[in-house]
Amino acid sequence: MTEPLPCHEPVNEPERLIIRQLGIQPYEPVWKAMAAYTDSRDRQCSDEIWLLEHQPVFTQGQAGKAEHVLNPGDIPIVQVDRGGQVTYHGPGQLVAYLLLDIRRLSLGARALVTHIENAIIETLKEYGVTSSAKPDAPGVYVDNAKIASLGLRIRRGCSFHGLALNINGDLSPFLRINPCGYAGLAMTRLADYDNSADCASAGERLTHHLVQGLGYTEIETRQSWD
């Protein structure tokens, strides 16, 4: 992948949002790019949402416990700086990274988590799927099976990392871990309820709900880092 320059497009209108549709990407370069953007941005830099899928990887949050990784096999494990325990990313899972100036948006961290969960719930509703959040276990669930995970980091008043929504990918790697630190947690995916679902269409619907109410007056979609 070609990494973006950190905050290479400062703007004078903070209501601008750039949405990047990036396809399938390796994990670590994207993580480093998120961190670089967050560390270099100022109050004039535009917010961004990155939509992508990852090559297979387990990521372990900064407070993650090694005992929750049961049998990783040939899938690499990456220690990262988000909250939460271990999760899996792979093709067929929609990942949305939210690089938002939450001070500028007048959002606290808890309000941002609630906003993300509600956006996922509304997206699933468009597919006829009823889901809900749990106050003691961030994420979104369908009949007690987890369909979406959240893991955020707030630095310098800005968010990065984000959410992972299972669309039509292989769920078997979740059996190699205790997902999000919960032994025996059942995982599910959107394709189990609507077999026409794919990451591209789900990404469009999810983005629509993510941006609702955040006050952006200009939204631009791009297919790359350029």
- The owner of tokens 């990521």 is 59
Closest CA to 19 of 162, 150, 138: 162
Does 164 appear as a known binding residue? yes
Does 193 appear as a known binding residue? no
* 180 is annotated as an active-site residue: yes
Does 87 appear as a known binding residue? yes
Does 111 appear as a known binding residue? no
Does 86 appear as a known binding residue? yes
Does 107 appear as a known binding residue? no
Label residue 120 left, alpha or beta by phi (over 0 means left) and psi (-120 to 50 means alpha). alpha
Closest CA to 54 of 72, 76, 81, 71: 76
Given 7, 158, 180, 199, the catalytic residue:
180
Q: List b or e across 100-131, with b for residues whose CB sees 16 or more CB atoms inside 10 angstroms.
A: bbbebbebeeeebbebbbbbbbbbbeebebeb
Does 83 appear as a known binding residue? yes
How far, in Å, CA of 92 to CA of 165, rounded?
9
Does 165 appear as a known binding residue? no
- Which positions are catalytic? 180
Per the annotation, binding residues for substrate are 82-89, 149-151, 162-164
